[in-house]
Chains A and B, each alone.
Chain A
């Protein structure tokens, strides 16, 4: 992707360019519309939503739905709001991201710089694990978590997310270290550095970008997970996504759309912030996850 090669643009007339621009703007509206709807309606009183136009700006501005979604809304049986679940998600995400990234880095290092007979098969098996439908592991996982005594706990979810994140984190580091010149490893070997010292002193200091990519990828995936949270979590370990779904789909009482929207934004906020702050790395992770090799 050298800078020289982005010169594909054809010479086009003014009219064509205006048309192209119009189409692109139209799509931008399409992509922004749901976010706009969520934002605008999360600061309207409920009556205004019901009687008014969903696309209109609020006539009466209120942050009550946000306060409600965060701390008061009825979720399941408890009127706790989303805040305890937000904390659950954080407690789950941080160790899951850290452990999976760390192991992925070591695996990538071994699979590129300390190859052994059969390394290709090992990597192939790890890679395929990224794509399995998780339905195939739900039943035995429920039993194993029970056997280990961590069913329904945050640590149980951490274990699940580490295991099913390993394939991707390994893939990221493997591809990154594959391009890392092997002569550097040879030079360090002759200089007398061993396995861990080469990793710590030579590779790790140059791994900044791929660590960021991996952390963002793993963070986004774990935070956004619903299936594992819904299957394996109890009240005191349920993550944000499960709580949001419970909030939105609870059949009792009036549908408080404004609270739902505020809750949805709260659930989306951490990943959105990561995306806005480091979108470049986010995209790189997506690409690396799609184009392997």
Chain B
């Protein structure tokens, strides 16, 4: 039965081609998650050890002031970052959608920061917000002697400088997502609404913005996951400081694991980060993949 044999080979080939990638992902993603999850229950310090200590690392983690700072910073950063990016992105998209002359020039300007590394963004904003040479100095030279803007040096305000730089980097991308959503709306619906007598404001409020629901959802998911992962920008802009005032979960994990030799605690913080992201991403992916099912 040579033909039968060949048919089986043909059936196997696709799986064979896919398997290297799948195995890599199984090991390097899911295997590693299991490994880190296991470490979070061990007393690992500088090197991994395999003596189980139960939930001790998690209790310790949540008793650490640095971790609660990291969490509250993440909350402040996440809410503002997502909120402001969405408002600016939606606003710019709606304005750009009014058949503006020069859209072709403006759109790439709004979007280019997304092509930069967070390290570059951090460097640029670090000096721009530096009171000695940056914005404050510029205002003084322009004659506004009383102007003061030293958030980046201020323990209570430094986290907001991270918001400023992050919004600068990502809001153009959110705009692009909303713009694509706007362009995808069936024109006849809008004509019908205008014939029904909807004003510009009502047209957007009642028809266009509700129809952008998928774009809102995508923007939220992308921004939320970027917020939880944000590491590079903090390092470049404030390096977690002043003091540890701008600590975030990602920087916390890195410093506890690799510089403070508390690998067990670091692993448990990584697990918490994964849980946060998974609770947003999994429902989203699930619904996205389901919709396509039909």
Q: Do chains A and B touch in the complex (CB under 8 A)?
A: yes
Inter-subunit contact B137/A245 (CB<8 Å):
no
Q: A37-B127, A136-B273, A138-B254 are in contact. Are A163 and B236 (CB under 8 A)?
A: no
* Interface positions of A from 22 to 36, Cβ below 8 Å from B: 23-24, 27-28, 30-35
Q: Which residues of B contact A241 (CB under 8 A)?
A: 117, 119-120, 232
A151 to B33, CA, bound (A): 20
Q: Which residues of B contact A286 (CB under 8 A)?
A: 114, 173, 176
* Interface positions of A from 268 to 293, Cβ below 8 Å from B: 268, 271-272, 274-276, 279, 282-283, 286-287, 289-293
Inter-subunit contact B285/A292 (CB<8 Å):
yes
Q: Which residues of B contact A71 (CB under 8 A)?
A: none
A78 to B176, CA, bound (A): 42
Q: Which residues of B contact A244 (CB under 8 A)?
A: 117, 119-120, 123
Inter-subunit contact A138/B186 (CB<8 Å):
no
A138 to B95, CA, bound (A): 43
B292 at the interface (CB under 8 A from A): yes
Q: A4-B187, A12-B200, A34-B168 are in contact. Are A227 and B22 (CB under 8 A)?
A: no
Q: Which residues of B contact A9 (CB under 8 A)?
A: 97-99
Q: A110-B17, A166-B21, A282-B115 are in contact. Are A1 and B183 (CB under 8 A)?
A: yes
Q: Which residues of A contact B96 (CB under 8 A)?
A: 24
Interface of B is mostly: helix
A8 to B118, CA, bound (A): 35
- Tell me which of A24, A137, A249 contacts B100 (CB under 8 A): A24
Inter-subunit contact B138/A124 (CB<8 Å):
no
A129 at the interface (CB under 8 A from B): yes
Inter-subunit contact B33/A136 (CB<8 Å):
yes
Number of interface residues of A (CB under 8 A): 105
Smallest CB–CB gap between A92 and chain B, Å?
14
Q: Which residues of A contact B289 (CB under 8 A)?
A: 120, 123-124, 127, 292-293
Smallest CB–CB gap between A67 and chain B, Å?
19
Inter-subunit contact A272/B112 (CB<8 Å):
yes
Interface of A is mostly: helix
A170 at the interface (CB under 8 A from B): yes
Question: Closest residue to B181 on the A side, CB-wise?
Answer: A291
Inter-subunit contact A132/B121 (CB<8 Å):
no
Smallest CB–CB gap between B48 and chain A, Å?
7
A132 to B10, CA, bound (A): 34
- Tell me which of B15, B33, B108, B138 contacts A55 (CB under 8 A): B138
Inter-subunit contact A54/B138 (CB<8 Å):
yes
B53 at the interface (CB under 8 A from A): no
Inter-subunit contact B98/A12 (CB<8 Å):
yes
Q: A5-B183, A224-B116, A267-B120 are in contact. Are A106 and B273 (CB under 8 A)?
A: no
Q: A194-B10, A293-B289 are in contact. Are A261 and B127 (CB under 8 A)?
A: yes
Inter-subunit contact A257/B127 (CB<8 Å):
yes
Inter-subunit contact A28/B106 (CB<8 Å):
yes
Q: A127-B285, A135-B253, A136-B36 are in contact. Are A8 and B24 (CB under 8 A)?
A: no
- Tell me which of B124, B173, B187, B218 contacts A8 (CB under 8 A): B187
Q: Which residues of B contact A50 (CB under 8 A)?
A: 132-133
* Interface positions of A from 93 to 145, Cβ below 8 Å from B: 103, 106-107, 109-111, 114, 116, 120, 122-129, 131-141, 143-144
Q: Which residues of A contact B291 (CB under 8 A)?
A: 293
Stretch among B77-85, B147-155, B261-269 lining the A interface: B261-269
The 7 closest A-B pairs by CB, nearest first: A114-B14, A224-B117, A275-B115, A9-B99, A34-B124, A226-B232, A135-B270
Interface residues of B (CB under 8 A from A): 10, 13-15, 17-18, 20-22, 24-26, 28-33, 35-36, 39, 48, 88, 91-92, 95-101, 106, 108-121, 123-128, 132-135, 137-138, 141-142, 168, 172-173, 176-177, 180, 182-187, 190, 194, 200, 203, 208, 214, 218-219, 221-222, 225, 228-229, 231-232, 235-236, 239, 249-250, 253-254, 257-258, 263, 266-267, 269-271, 273-274, 277-278, 281-282, 285, 288-289, 291-292
Interface CB pairs A-B, < 8 A, 26: A10-B194, A10-B203, A24-B96, A24-B100, A27-B110, A50-B133, A52-B141, A55-B138, A110-B15, A114-B14, A122-B22, A133-B229, A134-B229, A135-B270, A136-B271, A137-B29, A137-B33, A139-B266, A140-B35, A164-B29, A241-B119, A245-B235, A261-B123, A265-B120, A283-B111, A290-B221
A38-B124, A123-B289 known, 5 other contacts, Cβ within 8 Å: A136-B273, A257-B133, A272-B116, A290-B221, A292-B289
